[in-house]
Amino acid sequence: MEYIAFDAHKRYTLASVVRADGRLIREQRIVHERGALQEFLERCERGSPVAVETIGNWYWIVDEIEAAGCVPKLVHARKAKLMMGEINKTDRLDVRGLNRLQQAGTLPRVWIPPGGLRDQRDLPRTRMVLVGQRTQLKNRIHATLCAALSDMVPRPPLYTRFRPGPGPDPKSGANYNAKHPGRGEGQPLRRPQLP
């Protein structure tokens, strides 16, 4: 049996293949192209476990591993790093450490959903990200408008329910109700509404 580990990045993956006794067979940098990982794995023993860290683009990597007849093992990246105990972090040390954890049987694994379910989960996950970005933009626009219009919109005190009757405005010292007709004593405050 062979143990295979992938350290995947955006444009390439470093792959390491070792025998069951720990002897290194080969290490290779694979540029991300359609079918490149599958072609690399076809030279390995079928059914070999392949460790892949949880990164943003692991879906398609797992698809290629399964297509090559190997067994994907998704690894919890932070736990694996702690278990490896490496001070320095390089691609080569990462793949060798993942293979050591596989050999020892202590690889911190994460559940991999089946292929059909992965496809179904992709659309809601994308929607969730877009909704979060929309909310951030709305909050940013709201904060900018509040800052820009702060002189034009009267700001009532935050922690009082009713505005006191005639008396000095805390900011300018002028009578607040004289500047804002229609707001008599004891009327509830109306907060400014921004779109």
Residue by residue, DSSP assigns 167-185 as -B-TTTSSBHHHHSTT--T
For position 167, what pLDDT does the model report?
A: 53
- Domain spanning 2-112: which CATH class is it, in words? alpha beta
DSSP alpha helices (H): ranges in 1-114?
36-41, 58-67, 77-84, 91-104
How many of the other CB atoms lie within 10 Å of CB of 194?
A: 10
**What average pLDDT does range 178-192 have in this prediction?**
52
Rounded to the nearest angstrom, the gap between the alpha carbon of residue 112 and the centroid of all alpha carbons in its chain is 17
Question: Which one, of 74, 73, 94, lies nearest residue 83 by Cα?
Answer: 94
**Prediction pTM value:** 0.63
Question: To the nearest whole percent, how much of the chain has pLDDT over 90?
Answer: 42
pLDDT of 31 > 80? The answer is yes
**Domain boundaries of the chain, sorted by first residue:** 2-112
